[in-house]
Amino acid sequence: MLTQRIIKKRNTNKHIVFALIVALFMGMTLSGCVGGQLGKQNSNEYRNGMVVSASSLASKVGLGILKKGGNAVDAAVAVHFALAVVYPNAGNLGGGGFMVYRAASGETNSLDYREKAAALSTRDMYLDSAGNAITDKSLYGQLASGVPGSVAGMAEAHQKYGKLKWADLIEPAIELARNGFKITARQAREFNELKETFTKFNPDGTAFLKTSDWVEGDVFLQPELANTLEQIRDKGRAGFYEGAVADSLVAEMQRGKGIISKEDLKNYKAVWRKPIIGNYKEYKIITMPPPSSGGIALLQLLKSVEDFPLKRWGLNADSAVQLVVEAERRVYADRAAYLGDPDFYKVPEQQLLDNVYIKSRMRNFSWNKATPSSEVKEGKLNGAEHEETTHFSIVDRDGNSVSITTTLNGSYGSGVVVKGAGFLLNNEMDDFSVKPGTPNMYGLVGGEANAIAPGKRMLSSMTPTIIEKNGKLFMVVGTPGGSTIITSVFQTILNVIEFDKSMQQAVSAKKFHHQWLPDEVYTEENALDSLTVLKLKAKGYNIMFRGPIGRVDAILKTKWGYYQGGADPRGDDSIAAW
């Protein structure tokens, strides 16, 4: 009997142990799958929604909105305002941007809330008496700013597509500004490096300045910005473009000889535009139209390489790099000549995107040697960004998706913080052709199509993009990076479609860039192996090594129906999902 009891006890213990192991395994499975979704493919795939942005704090804000029942546009509004607080070098109230939207039903739209030149702007406002460009005038101080579009853009997006109350979407940003947040090591370094600039353009002080150096973990409080956000929460767009905030902005203009007026602010409108839509193989590309140059340029690039065996050549192989560089050379030459604000200039969109035209542009390069940029001009048609921007991608539970790129232009914009209102002003006027034919801060050359005019929107490289495959959502993608935006988005797409990379691998992969002028191929360290570099140099390509290119934040929908994120390791970028 004793022996039987011992055997029975041992069997019972075995069952208990087995049950504990099963329970532990199930617990691990559930806890590793946020929201309790079983069958997850890996730790970076989720079923119910995803936010990928430049800040973990902003991504968490967006995820919180999705969990409350908000859709992708609700989350986008909340993330946009949160980034204005926690990522001030590019997140903004005083800048502008572009949004590409795709509903789960397949409906698409794009929103242009790019800044505009003030009514008192003139074509030659940044030239000296001899007609030479005074570079700093379009980069620093109050005169460098265009009329901000971000608040109007978010209000317009929410009015058309939002579900939750506007006030609920602004509240998280208010709390972050009022209560503060701990800055990252990167932010501490940037604040310290810009101390002289902030002091020069904000003589009465600003939240960005303190007597000692900033260090990682310092709490950054922005009470004036919190007050401004409360005005926007309570009064919508009028809380920014009219009333006390508008008074503060105009007073700031007067202090620094800027030209934005109350009328400029009140008259600003965000504009819904028809997206640029094209195809790359079996993929449908939905992207931003002018005044973004990104959409047309992206489709031109994709069509330029479509007929070549990129997959067989391999990622960053010498043939693949040469082909991409030659395509970029021709596309950026077209950009300089033909792209501008469509409200002021008739952009020849159909001709630029014509397959025959694009293929003809690629016929005159030789595999044996580089084509000098001096020999590449814009194509003949019939008839006649320092790189601080930020991008975020969002998909909600129902499959609605948003791709937004927004910016102040240079890092921390013009260096001016509006006194009494606490937000930074943009320096987007430098994105005009200050003097047609003269490079801007990114080395980009522009023509008459992008010359300064009152009320005109400056040309941009921002390329927020959404991709479909077989009529279903496939990818949401975009990046900051000034002139490198277009090429970074282009290469990220190729990394997934042609080189079979996961979303994170595609984002993390080392990149290279060419933009026609200057005639140099910029590459991240270790993007190309030494043999590839030698082969390209032997053909006459001027290879220049540089720091990080782009900071892509993207979402891929896998064939299993899960959202797979890619947050760029070049920054503090973060995925929040469930």
Domains of the chain, by residue range, sit at 45-118+133-269+406-450, 273-376+462-570
Whole-number average pLDDT of the chain: 90
Residue 564: is its pLDDT beyond 70? yes
Name the percent of the chain lying above pLDDT 70.
89
3-state DSSP assignment of residue 374 = helix
pLDDT at position 327? 97
What pTM was computed for the model? 0.90
pLDDT at position 375? 85
Separation between Cα atoms, residue 199 and residue 209, nearest integer Å: 7
What are the structure tokens assigned to 533, written together?
Answer: 């570099």
What are the structure tokens assigned to 7, written together?
Answer: 């055997």
List the one residue out of 273, 51, 63, 68 whose CA is nearest residue 163: 68
pLDDT at position 517? 87
Residue 125: is its pLDDT beyond 50? yes
User: What mean pLDDT is predicted for residues 165-186?
Assistant: 98
135 part of the active site? no
Instruction: Give the Å distances, CA to CA, from 388 to 287, 391, 414, 561.
Output: 21, 10, 12, 33
Min mean pLDDT across 1-5, 207-211, 565-569 is at 1-5
Instruction: Give the Å distances, CA to CA, from 49 to 43, 61, 105, 555.
Output: 14, 13, 16, 10
Cβ neighbors of 147 (< 8 A, separation 6 or more) are 115, 116, 117, 118, 260, 264, 265, 268
Query: 392-429: per-residue pLDDT in tens?
Result: 999 999 999 999 999 999 999 999 999 999 999 999 99
pLDDT at position 348? 94
Residue 26: is its pLDDT beyond 70? no
pLDDT at position 112? 98
User: What mean pLDDT is predicted for residues 162-180?
Assistant: 98
Q: Which helix (H) or strand (E) holds 507?
A: helix 503-508
What are the structure tokens assigned to 557, written together?
Answer: 């929908």
Beta bridge partners of 557: 563
Query: 39-97: per-residue pLDDT in tens?
Result: 344 667 999 999 999 999 999 999 999 999 999 999 999 999 999 999 999 999 999 99
**Sequence-ordered strand ranges (E) for 184-325:** 219-220, 271-273, 276-280, 283-287
Where residue 385 falls among pLDDT bands split at 50, 70, 90? very low
Amino acid symbol at 159: Q
How far from chain centre, in Å, is Cα 464? 7
Where residue 381 falls among pLDDT bands split at 50, 70, 90? very low
Give the torsion sign (CA, 499, 505, 511, 516).
Answer: positive
Separation between Cα atoms, residue 103 and residue 161, nearest integer Å: 9
Separation between Cα atoms, residue 554 and residue 497, nearest integer Å: 14
What are the structure tokens assigned to 535, written together?
Answer: 């082969």
Residue 454: is its pLDDT beyond 80? yes
pLDDT at position 378? 57
Task: Find out if CATH 1.10.246.130 is the number for domain 273-376+462-570.
Answer: yes
Contact between residue 406 and residue 390 where contact means Cβ atoms under 8 Å apart:
yes
Contact between residue 248 and residue 419 where contact means Cβ atoms under 8 Å apart:
yes
User: What mean pLDDT is predicted for residues 105-111?
Assistant: 98
Where residue 475 falls among pLDDT bands split at 50, 70, 90? very high
List the one residue out of 69, 38, 53 whose CA is nearest residue 396: 69
Q: How far apart are the first and last CA of the chain?
A: 54
pLDDT at position 30? 28
pLDDT at position 1? 39
Catalytic residue among 389, 405, 406, 487: 389
Instruction: Give the Å distances, CA to CA, from 18 to 11, 274, 464.
Output: 10, 60, 51
**Position with higher pLDDT, 110 vs 375:** 110
Query: 318-354: per-residue pLDDT in tens?
Result: 999 999 999 999 999 999 889 999 999 899 999 999 9
Instruction: Give the Å distances, CA to CA, from 190 to 89, 194, 197, 567.
Output: 9, 6, 11, 21
Separation between Cα atoms, residue 251 and residue 242, nearest integer Å: 13
Residue 29: is its pLDDT beyond 50? no
Query: 300-309: per-residue pLDDT in tens?
Result: 999 999 999 9
419-457 exposure pattern, b = at least 16 Cβ within 10 A, e = fewer: bbbbbbbbbbbbbbbbbbeebbbbebbbbebbbbbebbb
Residue 149: is its pLDDT beyond 50? yes
pLDDT at position 43? 65
